[in-house]
Structure 1
């Protein structure tokens, strides 16, 4: 019976840590190399990284509570222009606009990344099973996809949120229930091609189960497409949340960019020339949608190099 000494155990633990660090470094290097191949992807990734950092450090960056109605000598500090103390001025209720803008990043990212995750998972699974099994399974899943395509997207999300209640997660649910349809169609068409390749046939001959073939042999070959449509879904989700909140169906307890635009519209900020109120959230919404598009565009050119030659 072999008894390991404390030194050998420590050495083994050290080797495991080194191996883990090499693996993490290798994955980070591969991730960085992926974005480095295309300038558009790099710009999109930098924009999202900046947003993530701003969201994490929002309590430090934002000088005020976004819900706080600021007063001085008992007087409400309403409709103040931009100044050193209030970089973007204040709202008609005396709330600091810059603080609202920074805190608005958090719900935007939550909606964007959560919806993109569900879109990727649902769309990829539907496309995998429809493309691999074909026949009746394909017919049923594609008819469900056709039904999803026939439902107007934003009106459906608005009705669902109005029925279930104003909540960020209800908006995510509404987006996830419909936005997977494009991903499913593209993944299915790709799976129909991949399933005919030699390595899939070899796996069938060796006795591999259908699920093993789907998730071990086929899925790794179509995951880049899933990530591509997931990156596009981030922008769509953020834009949808902003639209729903702007129309007044968002959660009033959550400060989002759409809520800021709604508040500015109701307060007639445009007619008063308070451009510092509604331009910054609109610009941030535009940046987030552009970032998703840039990552998707760059990913598409990396997946299909022939596109660069056109």
Structure 2
């Protein structure tokens, strides 16, 4: 009950923030690039989060940056979960040489330092944040593949799967109807935690000035505040706005994953273990 309350509360907070980010061009009277007030105004009635050194509204910029930052996490986590689930199911179900090949491939890919590689690629090829999200997903599927493989390997030996196979069912049918439904909740948990990790990774890339100069994201807002002397001028709201959004979003995602982990983790000690309905 405690985990469920945390999960629903966090989901409500995250969902509300996502909706605000998506509809911000409609509900806000100006765009994040418009100069709407005097520079470096603290939070007030007209500008709830204050303004930056150009007089741009920080609330508009934070909501606009949220669209890009969260999208990077969704793209990376979605692709990583899709690839990891597919390869993990194939490796665990078929076993043998296929399993050995995919396991060795996983060992190689998981050893690649993703964040330094993203820095190098972005510095040399000026990749956008969305392109970096795709690279994150293409290189980050290994943890999901490993745990899905372990579960699929166990499921493939269950009597009901063996019985369906003996009746002549095809591999695709068995994978889609008898393996996938049991590993999907596990993939969902991995997706949630990957979303948090890739969102923060995208923020880190934006903070060091990578990911496209024309793309507004939370990391770039922090980079702009730091390089423009926000700390020396004591403009605390310039940092508080994006940092608060990052912390609230990351914490909400983490709490959602926390609430789902025990319920859907097959190796946990919780009461909701895997069972055949």
The TM-score normalised by the length of structure 1 is: 0.81
Aligned CA-pair RMSD: 2.1
> C-alpha distance in 2, partners of 1:227/1:211?
21
Contact 1:81 1:88 (8 Å CA) reproduced:
yes
Instruction: Show the counterpart of 1:306.
Output: 269
Matches within 5 A, 1:133-212: 133-212=94-173
Instruction: Show the counterpart of 1:242.
Output: 203
> C-alpha distance in 2, partners of 1:115/1:43?
25
1:41 is displaced (CA, Å) by 1.4
Correspondent of 2:62 among 74, 94, 101: 101
Structure 1: which 4+ aligned runs deviate by more than 4 Å? none
> C-alpha distance in 1, partners of 2:20/2:13?
11
> C-alpha distance in 2, partners of 1:252/1:217?
47
Q: Which moved more, 1:149-158 or 1:121-130?
A: 149-158
User: What residue ranges of structure 2 are gaps of 5+ in the alignment?
Assistant: 273-277
Taking structure 1 as reference, are residues 272 and 38 closer, same or farther at Cα in structure 2, changes over 3 Å only? same
Q: Which moved more, 1:186-195 or 1:210-219?
A: 210-219
Describe the SS at the equivalent of 1:43: helix
> C-alpha distance in 2, partners of 1:131/1:166?
35
1:165 is displaced (CA, Å) by 2.4
Describe the SS at the equivalent of 1:104: helix
Taking structure 1 as reference, are residues 90 and 39 closer, same or farther at Cα in structure 2, changes over 3 Å only? same
1:262 is displaced (CA, Å) by 0.6
Contact 1:160 1:170 (8 Å CA) reproduced:
no
Correspondent of 1:127 among 88, 97, 100: 88
Contact 1:89 1:98 (8 Å CA) reproduced:
yes
Matches within 5 A, 1:210-221: 210-221=171-182
Correspondent of 1:46 among 1, 7, 12: 12
Describe the SS at the equivalent of 2:229: coil
Instruction: Show the counterpart of 1:275.
Output: 236
Contact 1:79 1:92 (8 Å CA) reproduced:
yes
> C-alpha distance in 2, partners of 1:158/1:225?
31
Instruction: Show the counterpart of 2:275.
Output: none
What do the CA deviations read for 1:228-262 (whole angstroms, capped 9, x no partner)?
10111111121111100101002222211111101
1:113 equivalenced with 2:79 (yes/no): no
What do the CA deviations read for 1:129-157 (whole angstroms, capped 9, x no partner)?
11111222112211221122211121122
1:263 is displaced (CA, Å) by 0.4
Instruction: Show the counterpart of 2:41.
Output: 80
1:292 is displaced (CA, Å) by 1.8
Correspondent of 1:66 among 20, 24, 32: 32
Number of residue pairs aligned between Structure 1 and Structure 2: 270
1:261 equivalenced with 2:225 (yes/no): no
Describe the SS at the equivalent of 2:35: coil
